[in-house]
Each structure stands twice: as C-alpha cells, then as structure tokens.
Amino acid sequence: MPSSRFSDYQLGTILGVGTVGTVYEGIHKESGERVAIKKLHPGVSGNKLIRARFRREMSVLERLRHPNIIASYGGGEANDGQLYYIMELVEGGTMHELLETHGRLAWQEVVDVTRQVGSALQCAHNHGVIHRDLKPGNLFLTLSAMVKLGDFGIARDLHDSDLTATGLTVGTHAYMSPEQITGDAMISGKTDLYALGCCMFEMLTGRKPFLGENFAQLFEQHLRAKPPQVSKFQPECPPELDQVIAHLMEKKPEDRPFNARAVQGVMLQIGEKYGLHEELACEKSGHDVAAESVTEKGRLILEQRIHARLHPASKVDVSWGRIAAVAAVIGGMILAAIALAP
C-alpha cells in the first residue's frame, strides 16, 4: 500500500476544488507512484466542525474496503497544520464528465454501472454509512470501466454522532430524496437508493428526472411528481429498467427496494435475460467474476466510451450506430420477451 506520509509526496496537478478542500495529484518522491491527495483549505482549517467532518470522511473511507469504492491510504496533519488524506488515483474521469461530453449511455452500460454502484452502496450500508450525495459527479471511472464511489464528505455514519444539524437539508438538489428535502432525522440507506434511481435516469436519458426552474419547483417535484419513463427517451431500453427506476424513486422509503443488493440482483437478472454475459480473463479472480461477467458487454461499451473521451483523436468507434450493431441480437430478445409477456 502507498505511503500515508504527506512529506513523501510532491504535489502535482490540481484535480478538483471543493468548498472545503482541494484534491491534488501526488507523486511519490522515490517510487514515482501516483496517488490523489485531498487537503483541507487553509481558510477553513480553523473551523472545528469542518475539521471534524474532514476527519469523519477520512475515517469512513478507511473502513470501506471495496473494489467499487475509492481506496484510502491514510492521512493526518501535514507540517503546515492542514489535514489531508491520500487515496487511489482514478484516471478515467467521472460519470458527470462522460455524460457532459458524450451524452446518454446505452442501456447495457447502465445495467453494468448500476450493478457496480449497487455493490458499493451495499458495502457502505453494511458498515452503517449513508453516502447522502450520490450523483454522477461522485462516480469515478477507471480506464477499464470500473466504477468507484467517492466523496463521502457529507456521509452519515450511523455508528457515530451526526455532524449535521437536525432539520438541515444536505445533498445535491437534483438527486435528493423526499426525506432529505424535508430534513428527516431518520434517513436510511433508502435515501441512496432514491439517488441511484435519479442517476440511472440521467445516464439513460442524458437529462435529470426533474427539471424545476428553481429550487422550490425542483423540491416540489421530488416530493410529489412521478419521473417520466426512460423508455420514452430510449425506446430500446428493456421495460425492467423503467420498473426498477420507478421503484427506486418511490416517495416513501419503505416502498423502495429492500436494499442495494436487491437492485444489484435485478441488474444481474437483466444481464442474464438479455444476453450481456461475456467470459472474463482469469486474472480478475480477485473480484466477483460471476457477477461481473453477467453484465460484461455493458462494461466493454463503457470502456470504449471512456477512452474516446480521453483520446478524442483516436479511432475508437462508440457511435450509436456501433452500439446498435452490437446490441442488435439483444434488441431482438427484448422484442421477443415483450411479445411473449402475458
């Protein structure tokens, strides 16, 4: 595992700037190994609450060891007194960046992404951690199209005292569950499932499920309106995806899926039904190969799309014509399934 000492690294390119911290590329001075280093802004380093939240984020990441969650290598206080932590460097950008440049994804890709995110969420929830800010910008992509959930800055740790005042609304408005909007003190992992439904909708359609002109309208829609069906935007989408998004975005938490594992299971069923299976190389045996292989065709399409975004001059073909050709047989299976449905 890489060193956790700040002094062992040379700070490189700024990878991102948030309200309380900056993420840098870090290069180990001896080995040349590259990592990501998040450091608290000097302007807020004297704020006890912000420091406590930063330490909470460090603690949460250190507990969550999972292939689909950004890996933490430890942290502490640098020589200048600023808090920092070191994590794995993920080089494929974020899902938000991919959607901004390449538009909506093919449904096969979304099935695989949802399977991976569901696995990450189940791990977090098993450890008593609710992310509370699941969105495309916090889904990081590797060059091989693995999805890594990151940014646990406002996560709720059920094993520790809450650092958010009761009744305070936290999260990103376009992905907030009704119980987040109302400031419910008893939120659960079902909040993350609602946000997952919002993310699935956006990945499949290229737009957010609700488009209020202001926060008041947006909140009202999250509280009372039903999202449109994704099949109206992507007709080739299997009906099961419409169903699972509607289930995830139910207004009452108790009406949503039982847990993230259940959502992951639905994605595996879709993969099996519509032929997304692909044999994987044996060197991936450290992962859940059986689950990965069931939706592997979606991952392969996503991998091409990631490389096309990073290397636009390359000849990688991820056009909709190409995707349609790859999915032709699958589309026939969908039509047959619909025709045979009772």
206: alpha, beta or left? (left if phi > 0; alpha if psi -120 to 50): left
Q: Which listed residue (133, 157, 192, 242) is catalytic?
A: 133
**Three-class secondary structure assignment of 35-59:** EEEEEECHHHCCCHHHHHHHHHHHH
| C-alpha pair distances (Å), 201 with each of 42, 43, 179 | 38, 37, 20
12 SS3 class: strand
Chain centre to alpha carbon of residue 73: 20
139 SS3 class: strand
Active site residue 133: yes
The closest of 147, 145, 141, 94 to 116, measured between CA atoms, is 147
Instruction: Answer for the pair 293, 278: CB distance below 8 angstroms, yes or no.
Output: yes
Which residues are the active-site residues?
133
